[in-house]
Structure 1
Amino acid sequence: MVEKQLNELIKESFPSLSPGQKKVAEFIKSHMDEGALHTAYQIGKRAGVSETTVIRLAYTLGFTGFSDLQEKIRKDWLEDKHSYTKEVSATAETSDENQLFERVIEHEKSILQQLLQQIRPEELSKTIDCIIRADRVYIGGFGSSYAAAYWLFYSLRQFRENIYLSSPNGFMPEEVSELSEHSIMMVFAFPRYRKETLKLVNLAKKQKATVVAITNRQLSPVGQLADITLTTEEHIESSHNSIASVISLLEVLMAGIQKEDKDRISRRQQKLEQLYADQGLFIE
């Protein structure tokens, strides 16, 4: 069995943590280097809580004590540090404005490289299987997240039926109320996070639908609620989120669906091509 990373353990336990333990958890995720080296007292002081709260977090996450938790922090931190050494050097800023284009491209390359490192195949496989088996697929995205939501909506409509999409500014409760335990909701959420996203997810969970979040980090507001959370820029510090990483992740999902559900997709595309020809939609 694949050993879970600390950020996964934190995500699974996050809703049940006390306010103080949540502060410690978020501090450790954001400052793995300090968590790997500092004492429980020092971490508590930096997080604004007591040493006891840090120790209680360790027990809550399933460790035998703080030293056991810290050993896990060190292991994950060293692995991440090794994975992203090239990324940091590749994205180093330069003051030469003539190299703006090169800097942007290098930054996007580093994001995609990081995406490759953080993707967990089992989570992708689970998402692909849920999409294929679902009776309905509802896709939600508001504001700037709507662009990626529409891309997935249009692409999935080429593969199968019963695909639904929110509007950029809201959703129809009647459509969401038709979801069930056999349905899946794909929801996109990137800063600045919209309140409608949480309303949509909570309504879907009441319908017992599987919720998959595509977001920038595991502990984003929607990431904490989702059954499956796929992240795009967990370790990237940037003033905006890259659409390249989001679309690349979706391309991986689409390729997996096409591989696993090729017979139904073939029938669907033949039907659509006949419809397009009858309507004369394309210049050929």
Structure 2
Amino acid sequence: MEDEKQDLMRTIQIKFPRLSKGQKLIAEYILKHYDKAAFMTAAKLGTSVGVSESTVVRFANELGFSGYPKLQKALQELIKNKLTTVQRIELSNDFISQESALKSVLKSDMENIRATLEKINQKTFNDVVNSIFSAKRIYIVGLRSSTAIAEFLGFYLNLILDNATVIGYGVSDIFEQMLNVSEEDLVIGIGFPRYAGRTIEALDYAKSRGANVIAITDSLLSPLAARADHTLIAQSNMASFVDSLVAPLSVVNALIIAVGLREKETISSTFSRLEKIWEDYEVYSYKEKRVD
């Protein structure tokens, strides 16, 4: 990652003498503020340095990118694993106002789902579903903000297959919870920038035990993907202090449904019994209660 940063910055420095006056202003801004530039549109970056949007586009072309979005993506890849929460708050203040928060976030989440649909590999998805069915036990590791996704996946897999364990922080360390993992088991690791170190260590342990490892993460360059036999990509870009989990949750939802479609009879029987339990113990509100 540091080498990639140096390569991009070095390219800008090498090209600098041949750049136009306006392009030099852009280059200087990026060299000093690449963390902010990564989340600026071409128009916003142009306004910040006092040049036109077309000058920004030509600058990206001069660096060898097919367009500004490619340059922007390269900058985002450099910084997304490094930004502290405080830095992310500062960025969101720059680009998302309180008045525009609703539309900005919804549009960003829509883009994440669209990008995920383009990137995700159907064969890999099918292989993951097959791995779920062939596993003796399924261990799901998703820590920090990924805990919600891990719990969601574990809840439904247990209803369908009854062999999933969600690994999390508690009385026992995560390695104690995974003590008996073996080559017959499947370990699903879920993680997005900034990646939880303990999740990576858990996948290392799973690999050392010969387990099949699945990663649900944002990129094939992710440290989770480097340890996985199969990787499902879900885009989670968000210029904010809150991680965008919409696309990852959608991928997990698709996994649950794909598993469920193979176990229609089991699901029908399970939910028939659950409905009886829910009604007997008033788990849900089935009717209006009279208030005298």
The TM-score normalised by the length of structure 2 is 0.60
> 5 Å matches for 1:54-69?
none
Offset at residue 171 of structure 1 (A)? 4.1
Change (3 A) 1:179 1:271: farther
Letter in 1 for 2:283: L
1:156: Cα distance to partner?
1.7
CA-CA distance at 1:178 after TM superposition = 2.3
Q: Which residue of 1 aligns with 2:18?
A: none
Letter of the structure 1 residue corresponding to residue 228 of structure 2: A
| Offset of residue 181 of structure 1 | 2.2
Displacement of 1:257: 0.9
Offset of residue 112 of structure 1: 0.9
For residue 188 of structure 1, what is the aligned residue in structure 2?
Answer: 190
1:109 and 1:248 map into 2 onto residues whose CA distance is 11
Whole-Å separation in 1 of the counterparts to 2:261 and 2:190: 24
Q: Secondary structure at 1:158's aligned position in 2? A: helix
Question: What secondary structure, in the 3-state scheme, does the structure 2 residue paired with 1:129 have?
Answer: helix
CA contact (8 A) 1:182 1:209 kept: yes
C-alpha separation between the residues in 2 aligned to 1:230 and 1:113? 15
CA drift of 1:281 comes to 2.8
Q: Is the 8 A contact 1:157 1:163 kept in 2?
A: yes
User: 2:52 corresponds to which residue?
Assistant: none
Q: Secondary structure of the residue that 1:221 maps to in structure 2?
A: coil
Distance 2:96 2:200 in 1: 40
Shift, 1:95, TM fit:
8.1
Counterparts in 2 of 1:277 and 1:209: CA distance versus 1, 3 Å: farther
Moved more, 268-277 or 205-214: 268-277
Task: Specify the alignment match of 1:127 in structure 2.
Answer: 128
SS in 1 for 2:136: coil
1:271 deviation in Å? 3.7
Distance 2:207 2:273 in 1: 33
Residue 280 of structure 1 deviates from its aligned partner by: 4.1
TM-fit CA distance, 1:180: 2.3
Unpaired segments of 5 or more residues in structure 2?
16-63, 74-93, 287-292
C-alpha distance 276-96 of structure 1, shift in aligned 2 (>3 A): closer
Output the amino acid matched with 2:226.
Q
Match of 1:217 in 2: 219
> In angstroms, what is the RMSD of aligned CA positions?
3.3
- Structure 2 contact 186–214 (Cα < 8 Å) conserved: yes
Deviation at 1:279, TM superposition (A): 4.0
Q: What CA deviation, in whole Å up to 9, does each residue of 1:208-245 have, x standing for no partner?
A: 221111112111111110111112128x4744531111
Name the counterpart of 1:160: 161
Contact kept in structure 2, 1:137 and 1:162, CA below 8 Å: yes
CA distance in 1, matches of 2:177, 2:196: 20
Matched, 1:228 2:230: yes
Shift of 1:115: 0.9
Task: Report SS of the residue matched to 2:187.
Answer: strand
* Match status 1:205 vs 2:207: yes
Residue by residue over 1:29-54, the C-alpha shift from the partner in whole angstroms, topping out at 9 and shown as x without a partner, is x97xx9xxx9xxxxxxxxxxxxxxxx
Q: Which residue of 1 aligns with 2:145?
A: 144
Equivalents in 2 of 1:167, 1:246: separation in Å?
18
Secondary structure, in 3 states, of the residue corresponding to 2:221?
coil
Gaps of 5+ in 1: 1-21, 39-73, 85-92
| Aligned 8 A contact 1:160 1:268 in 2 | no
Matched residues in 2 for 1:98 and 1:173: separation?
A: 45
Moved more, 261-270 or 177-186: 261-270
Equivalent residue runs for 1:1-284 within 5 Å: 98-168=99-169, 171-233=173-235, 236=237, 238-239=239-240, 240-284=242-286
256-265 or 274-283, which deviates more? 274-283
Given the superposition, is the C-alpha separation of residues 269 and 135 from structure 1 closer, same or farther in structure 2, using an over 3 Å criterion? farther
Name the aligned partner's letter for residue 231 of structure 1: I
CA distance in 1, matches of 2:277, 2:96: 54
Pair member with larger Rg: 2
Mapped contact 1:141–1:168 kept (Cα < 8 A) = no
- The answer on whether the counterparts of 1:138 and 1:165 sit within 8 Å (CA) in structure 2 is yes
Shift of 1:247: 0.9
Give how far 1:114 is off.
0.6
Question: Aligned in 2, Cα 1:222/1:228: closer, same or farther, shift over 3 Å?
Answer: same
